[in-house]
């Protein structure tokens, strides 16, 4: 088994294939209800999602990372893999599909999705279909975001499932990873063009 410790990000998680187990003492507020504790928990999980984004950047893919969390435990982690698998291989869609497989379930009731970039229309649709309870994202995406930027599919009044949404968690760090990636691409055109859907 391969283990990787996220000490540099304050999240000492053990990564085993797609599954992460971690020391729950690092998320002391994960079961608390107070707002301050919840914000600290969200920031901790977003840092783990940023690790996935960094791994995507290292593979020359648009750096977006995602996790699915249930009852304080990370069920699935994923990163963008468009280079290998095409335009629909977004981090959050992959994380949802991994979580469904791990939980042997058709839906993700009781789960929270963490993603470093505001979900697009495809991923927002998958979030609604999978019935996630909550979505926490980092940077806003004014060109493709469907959690309030372009439109709000996640909380559309005519859909029969509307997850709780929190945006802008560690948005500076999540956005900086994308900005640095596209700046590097501009100076290295061989890496490819910047997609129009990502700000
Ligand atoms: Zn997407």
Bridge-based pairing of strands 65-70 and 111-117 is antiparallel
The 8-class DSSP code of residue 9 comes to: G
Give which of 12, 32, 31, 30 is closest to 22, Cα–Cα. 12
* CA dihedral over 64, 88, 78, 146, signed as positive or negative: positive
Tokens encoding 174:
């999540």
- Asked if the model's pLDDT at residue 124 lies above 60, the reply is yes
Tokens encoding 50:
């940023």
Q: Sorting pLDDT into bands at 50, 70 and 90, what band is 188?
A: confident
- Residue 33 bridge partners (DSSP): none
Predicted pLDDT at 34 = 81
* CA dihedral over 24, 71, 113, 36, signed as positive or negative: negative
- Asked if the model's pLDDT at residue 189 lies above 80, the reply is no
Ligand 1 centroid vs 144 CA: distance in angstroms?
9
Check residues 193 and 56 and name the one with the higher pLDDT. 56
- Residue 5 bridge partners (DSSP): 14
Q: Which range has the worst mean pLDDT, 5-19, 44-58, 174-188?
A: 5-19
Radius of gyration of the chain (CA): 16
Contact 68, 99 (CB under 8 A): yes
Q: Which residues contact 4 (CB under 8 A, 6 or more apart)?
A: 13, 14, 15
Could you give the strand order of the β-sheet that contains 11-16, starting from the edge strand earlier in sequence? 5-6, 11-16, 19-22
Phi, psi (degrees; rounded to nearest 5) at 194: -75, 125
Predicted pLDDT at 35 = 84
At 17-42, the pLDDT tens digits run: 344 444 444 444 455 558 888 889 99
At 77-102, the pLDDT tens digits run: 999 999 999 999 999 999 999 999 99
Ligand 1 centroid vs 93 CA: distance in angstroms?
7
Ligand 1 centroid vs 32 CA: distance in angstroms?
30
Q: Sorting pLDDT into bands at 50, 70 and 90, what band is 6?
A: very low
- Residues with active-site annotation: 92
């Amino acid at each position: 088994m391969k283990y990787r410790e996220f000490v540099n990000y304050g999240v000492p998680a053990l990564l085993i294939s797609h599954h992460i187990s971690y020391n729950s003492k690092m998320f002391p507020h994960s079961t608390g209800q107070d707002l301050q504790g919840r914000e600290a928990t969200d920031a901790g999980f977003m840092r783990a999602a940023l690790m996935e984004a960094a791994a995507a950047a290292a593979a020359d893919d648009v750096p977006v990372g995602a996790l699915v969390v249930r009852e304080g435990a990370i069920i699935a982690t994923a990163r963008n893999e468009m280079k290998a698998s095409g335009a629909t291989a977004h981090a959050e869609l992959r994380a949802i599909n991994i979580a469904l497989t791990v939980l042997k379930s058709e839906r993700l009731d009781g789960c929270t999705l963490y993603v470093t970039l505001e979900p697009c229309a495809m991923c927002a649709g998958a979030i609604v279909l999978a019935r996630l309870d909550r979505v926490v994202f980092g940077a806003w995406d004014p060109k493709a975001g469907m959690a309030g930027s372009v439109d709000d599919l996640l909380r559309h009044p005519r859909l029969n499932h509307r997850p709780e949404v929190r945006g802008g968690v560690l948005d500076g760090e999540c956005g900086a990873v994308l900005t640095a990636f596209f700046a590097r691409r501009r100076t290295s055109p061989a890496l490819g063009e910047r997609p129009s859907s990502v700000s």
